[in-house]
């Protein structure tokens, strides 16, 4: 039985039949604590004996350098940036995610197509178009959305250092200074993620709660997902 499906036509030449792992997505805005929860979830699953792999935005072998370079100069067109991110994602899907699933790993991805769709829409892309672009993506087994208000992100982000140019949407820009733009930009991103959460059925986690409580709920829920869909390698 086929365990994975694509949203649309899928990846050219990719057979989905032999993919046996799990694809778990953690979504949420910048600074919400995704990394912390990815690490905790990983430790939990490894404790249970699962092999875990990870990926996240702009970590591809193919495009990560190019994206970094383009960000430094801020000279790439907005739509070209959307497609550069799509290239990066496609490379990671084919070179990291699919091989891990084929090997029966739990693949935890720190943001998936949803964040990329949200950032493209906020920068003016047509929602139908950008969703169609990403229709080659695999449907995850579960998507966990760390939900917060933009204002509540501010202290968390500032505790780590000054506002980041890109995390503040200053390429658009969305305010007079970094603070204004950060709040407006993250607010729009969160608004789009909220819409995508309804459309794609995310499991929403209130990120303002105690970190341990969130981690407990996340770990328990992922464990249930893994139990419900046993690995075909062991079946």
Partner 1 sequence: MSALTTYGQRPNVYPGKLFIVEGIDGSGKSTQLALLTQWLRSEGYLVTFSEWNSSQIVKATTSRGKKRQLLTPLTFSLIHATDFSDRLEQQIVPALKAGAIVLADRYVYTAFARDVARGVDGGWVRSLYRFAVPPTLAVYFRVPLDVALHRILSARPKLKYYEAGMDLRLSTDVTESYRLFQARIQHEYEGQVREFGLATMDATLPVEVQQRALRDMVRPHLHGVAASPATAALEDEERTA
User: Applying CB under 8 A, does 53 fall inside the site for partner 1?
Assistant: no
Q: Does 79 bind partner 1 (CB under 8 A)?
A: yes
Q: Is 129 in the site for partner 1 (CB under 8 A)?
A: yes
- Tell me the pairing of strands 203-206 and 52-56: unpaired
Binding status of residue 103 toward partner 1 by CB under 8 A: no
Greatest CA separation found in the chain? Answer: 58
Handedness of CA 212, 215, 221, 227 (dihedral sign): negative
Question: Binding partner 1 by CB under 8 A: which of 1, 75, 176, 212?
Answer: 75
Q: Which of 60, 61, 43 is nearest to 52 (CA)?
A: 43
Least distance to partner 1, CB of residue 10, Å: 8
What dihedral angle (degrees, nearest 10) is formed by the CA atoms of 126, 129, 131, 134? -130
Contact between 35 and partner 1 by CB under 8 A: the answer reads: no
- Residue 9 lies near partner 1 (rule: CB under 8 A): yes
> Which one of 22, 114, 136, 163 is in contact with partner 1 (CB under 8 A)?
136
How close are the terminal C-alpha atoms of the chain, in Å? 11
Report how far residue 232's alpha carbon sits from residue 23's, in angstroms, rounded to the nearest whole number: 14
* Alpha helix positions (H), 135-177: 150-159
The residue range among 16-24, 86-94, 150-158, 210-218 that interacts with partner 1, by the rule CB under 8 A, is 86-94
Interface with partner 1 (CB under 8 A), residue total 39
Residue closer to partner 1 by CB (options 76, 154) is: 76
Q: Which of 16, 42, 91, 173 binds partner 1 (CB under 8 A)?
A: 91
Number of Cβ within a 10 Å radius of residue 56? 17
Residue selected from 39, 94, 171, 195 as contacting partner 1 according to rule CB under 8 A: 94
What the block records as the tokens of 235 is 């079946």
Binding site for partner 1 (CB under 8 A): 7-9, 11-13, 61-63, 65-66, 69-70, 73, 75-80, 82-84, 86-87, 90-91, 94-95, 126-129, 131-136
């Amino acid at each position: 039985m086929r365990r994975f499906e694509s949203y649309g036509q899928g990846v050219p030449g990719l057979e989905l039949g032999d993919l046996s792992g799990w694809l778990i997505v953690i979504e949420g805005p910048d600074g919400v604590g995704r990394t912390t929860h990815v690490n905790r979830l990983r430790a939990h699953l490894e404790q249970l004996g699962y092999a875990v792999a990870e990926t996240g935005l702009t970590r591809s072998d193919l495009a990560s350098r190019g994206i970094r370079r383009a960000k430094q100069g801020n000279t790439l067109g907005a739509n070209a940036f959307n497609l550069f991110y799509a290239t990066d994602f496609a490379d990671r899907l084919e070179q990291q995610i699919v091989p891990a699933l084929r090997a029966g790993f739990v693949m935890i991805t720190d943001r998936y197509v949803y964040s990329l769709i949200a950032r493209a829409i906020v920068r003016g892309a047509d929602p139908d178009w950008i969703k169609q672009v990403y229709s080659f993506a695999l449907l995850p087994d579960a998507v966990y959305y760390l939900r917060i208000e933009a204002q509540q992100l501010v202290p968390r982000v500032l505790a780590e250092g000054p506002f980041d140019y890109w995390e503040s949407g200053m390429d658009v820009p969305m305010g007079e200074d970094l603070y204004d733009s950060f709040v407006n930009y993250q607010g729009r991103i969160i608004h789009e993620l909220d819409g995508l959460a309804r459309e794609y059925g995310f499991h929403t986690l209130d990120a303002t709660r105690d970190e341990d409580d969130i981690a407990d709920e996340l770990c328990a829920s992922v464990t249930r997902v893994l139990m419900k869909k046993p690995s075909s390698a062991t079946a």
